[in-house]
A = this chain, B = another copy of it.
Amino acid sequence: MNERFTLPAHSPALAALVPEFLDLARAASGDPAAEERDLAVWENLTEHVSLDYRFANPPVHGPGDWDTYDSRFVDPAGVEIGTLQGTGRILYERSSDAHLMMYYREQLTFPDGTAQTAGWVDGTAILGGAWQRFPILGSGGRYGSMIGLRSFQPTPEAPHSLYRTHLVLREIPGGHGLTDPEEIDAALSLLGAFVGPSVNPATGNGRLEPPVRAGRTA
Q: Of A76-84, A138-146, A155-163, A179-187, which stretch is located at the interface?
A: A179-187
For A11, give its contact among B1, B89, B104, B194 (CB under 8 Å): B194
**Chain B CB within 10 Å, residue with most, of A21, A25, A189:** A189
Known: A1-B41, A15-B19. A29 touches B6 (CB 8 A): yes
B residues in contact with A89, CB < 8 Å: 95, 200, 208-210
A83 to chain B, nearest CB (A): 15
How far does the Cβ of A151 sit from chain B's closest Cβ, in whole Å?
7
Contact B104 A208 (CB under 8 A): yes
Is the beta-carbon distance between B1 and A12 smaller than 8 angstroms? no
User: In the complex, which residues of chain B have a beta carbon less than 8 angstroms from the beta carbon of A111?
Assistant: none
For A5, give the chain B residue with the smallest CB separation: B28
CA of A21 to CA of B50, assembled, Å: 42
Contacts of A186-218 to chain B: CB distance below 8 A: 186-187, 189-190, 192-196, 198-202, 206-210, 214, 218
Q: Is the interface of A mostly helix, strand, loop or mixed?
A: mixed
User: Beyond the given A87-B207, A120-B199, could you list 7 further A-B residue pairs with CB under 8 A, ordered by the A residue number?
Assistant: A1-B41, A8-B195, A64-B210, A66-B208, A87-B208, A105-B200, A105-B208
Interface on A for B, CB 8 Å cutoff? 1-8, 11-12, 14-15, 18-19, 21-22, 24-25, 27-30, 32, 41, 43, 54, 56, 63-64, 66, 68, 87-89, 91-92, 95, 101, 103-105, 118, 120, 149, 151, 166, 168, 181-182, 185-187, 189-190, 192-196, 198-202, 206-210, 214, 218
